[in-house]
């Protein structure tokens, strides 16, 4: 008790986000991952302004070239510059990956928290989740794209329309695992005494979820998020591969990868570049998620 007299000035309450950032900075992997992710984002955003070669410019005389000064990543079978294509494809792939992940995360967390917290909605929502898990994805995609492609194209233009379609299709078909994990965690959290304590204070359900439940289910949500970006990028490439996604002259990392598989024996580097881009992005996102999860948990923070 003696030190109360000496330290009369008490610190103002620190913002929790300052603590989170302090902890995040100490996680080396997360910092490298974050730096790399920012680098990739900047590269695909501003790169095409510096590397002014058109990704769809066909120079048939320069086809199937290896890496050179003129074409650092080489060219494809039509003589298009692979570097320019990877840059242009990264924009779409990253945007699709992040947006679809956010959509899936939002849906999954919403369904999971509501199902776990409100007992009456648990059974219907979980049966809905089972239903979505049981849906055969590819036929479903075919039907959705058949039904909505032309309307969306007419409404938002061919590229934005397809973008909305692809993102929502991926988001709607990949929220189920998040929902299940979140529901399980919410069920166990709900029985904790601090939730009872909050109820004895008179905290209404809405704030109970936001203040007590959600911060404590952050870890599984983070893990789902990092894995979700990877799955979304891969699924987008699968959709494009089937010819249901973006038009064939519109490069994305997934499409570049699937286009080059035929030429793998001839020009292995053509598979390597987009593959490397996808893997490194996913890896950096994983590390960011890892660091964020640690930083958000005050029990790990400061260790």
Interface positions with another protein (CB under 8 A): 1, 3-4, 7, 10-14, 16, 192-194, 196-204, 207, 211-212, 215-216, 296-299, 301
Q: What are phi and psi of 52, to 5 degrees?
A: -80, 5
Rg of the chain taking only CA atoms, in angstroms: 24
- Smallest gap from residue 123 Cβ to another protein (A): 10
Which residue has tokens 């590819």? 138
Number of other CB atoms surrounding residue 72 within 10 Å:
14
> Up-side HSE of residue 194: CA atoms within 13 Å toward CB?
8
Nearer to another protein, 136 or 202 (CB): 202
CA–CA distance, 254 with 180 (Å, rounded to integer): 28
Nearer to another protein, 42 or 300 (CB): 300
CA–CA distance, 288 with 175 (Å, rounded to integer): 21
- Smallest gap from residue 197 Cβ to another protein (A): 5
Nearer to another protein, 153 or 301 (CB): 301
Rounded to 10 deg, the angle between the 82-117 and 176-190 helix axes is 40
Nearer to another protein, 278 or 295 (CB): 295
- Smallest gap from residue 116 Cβ to another protein (A): 17
Nearer to another protein, 13 or 136 (CB): 13
Question: What burial class does residue 85 get, using C-beta atoms within 10 Å of its C-beta: 0-12 exposed, 13-18 middle, 19+ buried?
Answer: buried
Q: What are phi and psi of 81, to 5 degrees?
A: -75, 120
Nearer to another protein, 20 or 111 (CB): 20
- Smallest gap from residue 216 Cβ to another protein (A): 6
Nearer to another protein, 1 or 69 (CB): 1
**CA angle, 52 then 58 then 63, to 5°:** 105
- Smallest gap from residue 5 Cβ to another protein (A): 11
- Smallest gap from residue 189 Cβ to another protein (A): 10
- Smallest gap from residue 109 Cβ to another protein (A): 16
């Amino acid at each position: 008790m003696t030190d109360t007299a000496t330290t009369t000035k008490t610190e103002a309450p620190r913002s929790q986000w300052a603590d989170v950032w302090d902890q995040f900075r100490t996680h080396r992997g997360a910092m490298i991952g974050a730096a790399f992710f920012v680098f990739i984002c900047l590269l695909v955003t501003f790169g095409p302004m510096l590397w002014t070669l058109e990704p769809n410019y066909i120079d048939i005389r320069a086809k199937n070239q290896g890496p050179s000064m003129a074409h650092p990543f080489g060219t494809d079978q039509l003589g298009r510059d692979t570097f320019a294509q990877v840059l242009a494809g990264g924009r779409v792939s990253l945007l699709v990956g992040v947006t679809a992940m956010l959509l899936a995360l939002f849906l999954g967390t919403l369904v999971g928290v509501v199902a776990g917290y409100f007992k009456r909605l648990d059974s219907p929502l979980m049966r809905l989740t089972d239903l979505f898990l049981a849906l055969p994805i590819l036929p479903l995609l075919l039907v959705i794209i058949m039904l909505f492609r032309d309307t969306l194209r007419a409404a938002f233009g061919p590229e934005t329309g397809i973008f909305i379609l692809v993102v929502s299709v991926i988001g709607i078909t990949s929220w189920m695992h998040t929902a299940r994990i979140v529901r399980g965690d919410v069920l166990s959290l709900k029985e904790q005494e601090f939730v009872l304590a909050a109820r004895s204070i008179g905290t209404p359900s809405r704030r109970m979820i936001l203040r007590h439940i959600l911060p404590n289910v952050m870890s599984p949500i983070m893990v789902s998020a990092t894995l979700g970006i990877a799955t979304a990028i891969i699924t987008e490439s699968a959709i494009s591969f089937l010819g249901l996604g973006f038009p064939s002259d519109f490069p994305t990392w997934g499409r570049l990868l699937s286009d080059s598989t035929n030429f793998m024996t001839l020009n292995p580097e053509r598979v390597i570049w987009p593959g490397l881009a996808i893997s490194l992005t996913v890896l950096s996102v994983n590390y960011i998620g890892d660091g964020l999860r640690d930083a958000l948990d005050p029990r790990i923070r400061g260790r």
